[in-house]
Structure 1
């Protein structure tokens, strides 16, 4: 589930729709949490589907560390890509704002940490030399993303967390332990899905 202080808006003809903050979402806030609205679709189940369903799911799903496709049950599936994303996935089935997200600003993800199955070209972006999202981006950029998450976790206990109770109890306990400095943060690299052949 996406943060309640968001809405779906038309961004531009080039980008389409996106998820925009309606109020300030401070750095360190959980911006998305996996919950019972989200569907998990195995690769085998996807293979059995109609071609039109496959196209839809390949566009709107991300892949988890098991290689399963996850279709978000609300408008979080419309979160757009940015190489300088405002949110980053964690090892705890949730995402954190890694900077303040102001009213009217898009919530964005770097699709590189969502286990894309194929490379794709992206619009040029100020502040980044990257032009493609690649299947192995998690291997190459996890340290950078971990550093941003560690900084965001420093703010976790100082901001409202409306999505915290949606986390599974074990994950909620882990997140709180990290925020309290009682446990080290697991790397985003644990989200990586390594495709095997055969």
Structure 2
């Protein structure tokens, strides 16, 4: 589920639509969280569908593991990519604002954190020389993403969290400990070691 202070807006003919903040979303705020309304699809099922539906699913779903894809039920599926994103993924099935997101600013994430099967080209962003997303970017950039999440977590208890009630019970104690500074953050790399055992 996306943060309530977001809406879909047209970006450009090339990009299509994206998600924009309608109010200030402070650093450390949960911007998106996986919830029980998200649609879980197995790859075998997707491959059994007609080409038109397969195309839509592969465009808007993200790979949760080797055989499952998650299709967000709300407008979260319209988050666009940036090599200098303002939201960062965590190991706890939610994303955080990596910096203050101003009203009218587009929310973006680094698609490298999703580990998709296909590489793709993207224009470089300010502060980054990257121009291509690869399926194994998590092996190269996980420390950078972990540091972004660690910094964002410092503000977790200082900001309003309208989506906090959706944190899965298996993560609640750990998230509270990380937010309180009593335990270290889990690396996003643990997601890929779990979902892709061949990378362990």
Q: 1:67: Cα distance to partner?
A: 4.5
Kept in 2: contact 1:164–1:172 (CA 8 A): no
* Mapped pair 1:122 → 2:122: yes
Kept in 2: contact 1:84–1:110 (CA 8 A): yes
Kept in 2: contact 1:65–1:190 (CA 8 A): no
Q: TM-score, normalised to structure 2's length?
A: 0.94
Cα-to-partner distance string for 1:161-195 (whole Å, 9 max, x where unaligned):
00010121122222111101222211011222538
Distance 1:195 1:26 in 2: 35
Q: TM-score, normalised to structure 1's length?
A: 0.94
Distance 1:42 1:171 in 2: 24
Paired position in structure 1 for 2:151: 151
Gaps of 5+ in 2: none
Kept in 2: contact 1:165–1:172 (CA 8 A): no
Count of aligned pairs: 196
Residue correspondence of structure 1 range 53-68 to structure 2 within 5 A: 53-68=53-68
Residue correspondence of structure 1 range 33-112 to structure 2 within 5 A: 33-112=33-112
After TM superposition, where is structure 1 displaced by more than 3 Å over at least 4 residues in a row? 193-196
Gaps of 5+ in 1: none
Q: 1:46: Cα distance to partner?
A: 1.4
Distance 1:168 1:133 in 2: 29
Paired position in structure 1 for 2:2: 2
Distance 1:23 1:190 in 2: 33
* RMSD over equivalenced CA pairs, Å: 1.4
> What SS does the aligned partner of 2:11 have?
strand
Kept in 2: contact 1:67–1:195 (CA 8 A): no
